[in-house]
Amino acid sequence: MTIVVTFPGQGSQKPGFLAEWLERPESRSTLERLADASGVDLVAHGTESDADTIRDTAIAQPLIVAAGILSWDALAERLGERLDGVTVAGHSVGEIAAAYAAGIFDAETAIRFVARRANLMAEDAAKHTTSMSAVIGGDEADVVARLTELALEPANYNGAGQIVAAGEPDALEALKAEPVAGTRVIPLKVAGAFHTRYMADAHDALAASADEFAVSDPVRPILTNFDGTAVTSGADYRQLLVDQVNRPVRWDRCMANFVESGVTGLIEAAPAGTLTGLAKRAMRGTELINLNAPNDLDAAVALFDSAN
């Protein structure tokens, strides 16, 4: 069995989703350290804050990356060297948690990077009224053509027949009113058109400060949302993280790589469910584990046991 560990993106967070993790003293200590490094009260937001509060980009992104760090640390504690050689990949902001798992960033650098990214993207989102909608089903070429017609952009190619459209609200309403044949359009509760031209200023500002975030070359395979291939240089991966701010997420290509590589087991770090949901539709027969709480670690360990 070939196993990958994946890290979800923005929108996966839920109120109170870190409460059970913080029952582990080591996880609480790590989260407090990350809160200090990020300037975000990750303990309160991961346990007490409501859905509207943690939808804020400046809070959501550090919170999700912190959850990925806690998940990976707990896995590493249980599995140790058995994680050597395991491929990791993240969706959008989850790429930063994956960079930690791959050894590209240390924990504090990962959380500082995502805090900087989140604040810049939130600033760009505040400059224009934009949003995003999921387009489910239909022919990909037809969907992209319709988005172009409406001056919308495909922000995420998620695979499993899902593309996320981004742009101005009137255009998104027009897409919903007259969808492409065979599709459903589902509005998303997000604050901006991420991974599009609307994030150009955020991209440029993050690029200007990228050297402030030290990197090492990865110690295990890590895939990029650019084209789904493995990256062997920490500096190259950091540049891809910067460029990904205003470029579409190609999670479909990551999943295609999983299929081509013969992946038969996929673990999704907290807050889990989105990526395993996509894999359930696009990677039939793959064993899927949602690592949402410490109690889920036993299932993850059992997955590795079955691979031997």
Nearest CA to 95 out of 209, 201, 10 is that of 10
In the sheet that holds 263-269, the strands lie side by side as: 87-90, 2-7, 263-269, 287-291
Residue 92 bears catalytic tag: yes
What SS3 state is found at 64? helix
Distance CA 270, CA 291 (A): 5
Q: What is the DSSP string of 107-155?
A: HHHHHHHHHHHHHHHHHHHHHS--EEEEEEES-HHHHHHHHHHTT-EEE
Q: How far is CA 231 from each of CA 171, 237, 240, 256, rounded to the nearest angstrom?
A: 36, 6, 10, 16
Q: What is the DSSP string of 108-121?
A: HHHHHHHHHHHHHH
Distance CA 85, CA 93 (A): 22
Q: Which residues contact 38 (CB under 8 A, 6 or more apart)?
A: 62, 66, 111, 112, 114, 115
Among candidate residues 12, 92, 131, 133, the one labeled active-site is 92
Distance CA 299, CA 288 (A): 10
The CA-based dihedral angle spanning residues 257, 225, 233, 200, taken in that order and rounded to the nearest 10 degrees: 160
Among candidate residues 38, 45, 49, 195, the one labeled active-site is 195
Contact 304, 295 (CB under 8 A): no
* Backbone φ and ψ of 289, nearest 5°: -125, 125
Residue 27 bears catalytic tag: no
Terminal-residue alpha carbon distance, the chain? 8
Residue 245 per-residue DSSP state: G
Catalytic residue numbers, as ranges = 92, 195
